């Protein structure tokens, strides 16, 4: 049968896939929550949920670099990736040999579409619809406004999250007004960060692992700003981890 991914590519799959490689941590967790752990044969070293999954599956590399010999040995009948998280040339190499289904996520509707399409492709549509139904309830109304914010994803250089990103949509839902609007992932100098003077500076746990020492450092620069460590998975993972996001945002 033919299926269309979120890059609007047509993919031919003869049978429901039985040997899946997932190159995206949030989508790996989704596959498990769809009841498909037994069908997963390969994951990345960053696929940390559910706990212990990496030890039960074969590691095929990271999200940018792949062990092609290992992938070939696994004989996948489907590889699942993401336009932003995976490296383009590597994905294109895999596309020459295997069916590769790609997601492309900018907002919640994209996430819902991804969950539904994978549910259909993998013959677990009812479970996918159930997850989407709950997420639509959870995200029906944004939370109370908290104030302005800058959300950092890297330390040296300082990099923030801007518009037209999934994280920006989550910030808005959680009640934050994002002050970084120049580009999707702008690089900021210390002076620019100080000039923005946000009510909140949010230090993500990923991809850069901000720690308490970074909280103290940025607090010394921004005396009137509340500097906090935040769980990056809750803001950036667009699979079934979203089921935990609203309750997490409510604890802020």
Give yes or no for residue 15 having a pLDDT over 90. no
Sequence-separated (6 or more) residues with CB below 8 Å from residue 235: 151, 167, 170, 171, 174, 204, 245
Q: What is the mean pLDDT of residues 111-131?
A: 98
- Are 206 and 89 members of one domain? no
Dist. CA 178–CA 161, nearest whole Å:
8
Residues 72 and 123 in one domain: yes
User: How confident is the model over 180-207, as a mean pLDDT?
Assistant: 97
Q: Does the pLDDT value for residue 225 go beyond 90?
A: yes
Please give the model's pTM, rounded to 2 decimal places. Answer: 0.95
The pLDDT of 128-134, averaged and rounded, is 98
Q: What counts of helices (H) and strands (E) characterise the chain?
A: 11, 13
Cα 17 to Cα 78, 82, 92, 203, distances in angstroms? 6, 18, 20, 39
Asked whether residue 155 falls in the same domain as residue 42, the answer is: no
C-alpha 11/C-alpha 194 separation (Å) is 48
Is 30 found in the same domain as 85?
yes
In the prediction, which pLDDT does 14 show? 83
Give Cα 251 distance to the centre of its chain.
21
Does position 1 have pLDDT exceeding 90, yes or no? no
With residue 176 as reference, give the H or E element that holds it. Answer: strand 176-178
Q: For residue 240, what are the domain limits?
A: 147-250
């Amino acid at each position: 049968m033919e299926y269309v991914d979120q890059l609007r590519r047509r993919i031919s799959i003869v049978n429901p896939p039985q040997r899946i490689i997932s190159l995206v941590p949030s989508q790996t967790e989704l596959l498990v929550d769809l009841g498909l752990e037994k069908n997963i044969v390969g994951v990345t070293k960053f696929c940390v949920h559910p706990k212990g999954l990496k030890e039960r599956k074969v590691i095929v590399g990271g999200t940018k670099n792949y062990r092609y010999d290992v992938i070939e040995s696994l004989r996948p009948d489907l590889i699942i990736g993401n336009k932003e998280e995976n490296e383009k040339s590597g994905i294109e190499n895999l596309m020459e040999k295997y069916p590769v289904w790609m997601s492309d996520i900018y907002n919640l509707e994209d996430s819902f579409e991804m969950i539904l399409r994978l549910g259909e492709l993998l013959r677990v549509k009812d479970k996918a619809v159930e997850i989407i139904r709950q997420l639509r309830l959870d995200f029906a109304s944004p939370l109370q406004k908290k104030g302005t914010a800058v959300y950092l994803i890297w330390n040296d250089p300082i990099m923030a999250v801007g518009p037209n990103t999934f994280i920006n949509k989550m910030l808005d839902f959680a009640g934050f007004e994002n002050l970084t609007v120049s580009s999707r992932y702008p690089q900021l100098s210390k002076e620019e960060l100080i000039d923005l003077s946000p009510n909140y500076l949010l230090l993500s746990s990923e991809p850069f692992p901000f720690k308490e020492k970074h909280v103290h450092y940025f607090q010394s620069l921004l005396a009137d700003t509340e500097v906090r460590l935040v769980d990056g998975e809750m803001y950036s993972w667009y699979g079934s981890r979203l089921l935990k996001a609203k309750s997490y945002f409510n604890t802020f």
